Amino acid sequence: MTGNLTDVRVERRPKLFETVVQTLRGQILGGDFQVGEKLPTEARMTGIFGVSRTVVREAVAVLAAEGLIEARHGAGVFVLDHPTRRISAITADVGNRISQAVNVLEVRMGIEIESAGLAAQRRSPSQEARIQEAFFEFERLLKNDEPTGKADFAFHREIAAATNNPFYVEILDALGDRTIPCDRNSPLYSVEVLSYEYLHGLQREHLRVLKAISAGNADAARAAMRAHLQAARDRYRQRLSGQQAGYHQGTLAATRSDISQPKAKLK
């Protein structure tokens, strides 16, 4: 095995473009900019945010990928008509995604708790090595602030494969990208669960599962997987029961605190 299973702590400094993205997204979704309206020039935004042109371009690229804006060559950057422009629509969308994530996690609990126990009993040395490789790939991506979803899915899939029962793998493959809602590419993705703290917590939980499987302790492996999936389910349930309103208010508050007079300062 490579790496150190006992040391998975990493430090992450927030990137400048994330602040620009959050502020502009909040203003666009909050209605401060209308459909078809042109955003301030790149030079103007560098002055407003106190960042470089490269940072502004990164932020624009993120918002364009989200379908909120469009850069038109020689003309500027314009706001698009997006289904989640209104805060009420955002709240409903967040709620739907959280509810789906809870449903998926309940299905996974019915499958993966037992698969972890079987993997502890049946894994071959090469299968154990692949589980470890997926674990350390997640750690590498987390340290580099890169999307971890594929490595997360690989970790769980390799555990399923180590049961030597192909149906466990088939079920995970059928769930596909819905399996890992914290991945940026997942249809269940929401930015609130993509924080460093959330992902670092997942890695600590993965570590307990991995140690139990490596020790050949089936009961401990089941318990660790149960705790891992229950913790994820409970986090989503808490958000579903009351955090939509907090998200709604927090988005507007963050936007107003970043720019006290948004339209006056951005234009």
User: SS3 string of 113-136?
Assistant: HHHHHHHHHHCCHHHHHHHHHHHH
Tens digits of residue pLDDT in 30-79: 778 888 999 999 999 999 889 999 999 999 998 988 888 998 988 999 99
Stretch (H or E) spanning 51: none
pLDDT of 95 > 60? The answer is no
Give the chain's mean pLDDT.
79
What confidence category does residue 194 fall into, taking pLDDT thresholds of 50, 70 and 90? low
pLDDT of 213 > 80? The answer is yes
Q: Work out the average pLDDT over 93-112.
A: 79
Rg (the chain; Cα; Å): 21
pLDDT of 86 > 70? The answer is no
pTM for this structure? 0.55
What confidence category does residue 263 fall into, taking pLDDT thresholds of 50, 70 and 90? very low
Please choose, from the candidates 200, 192, 182, 204, the residue with its C-alpha nearest in 3D space to the C-alpha of residue 240.
192
Please choose, from the candidates 185, 125, 204, 116, the residue with its C-alpha nearest in 3D space to the C-alpha of residue 157.
116
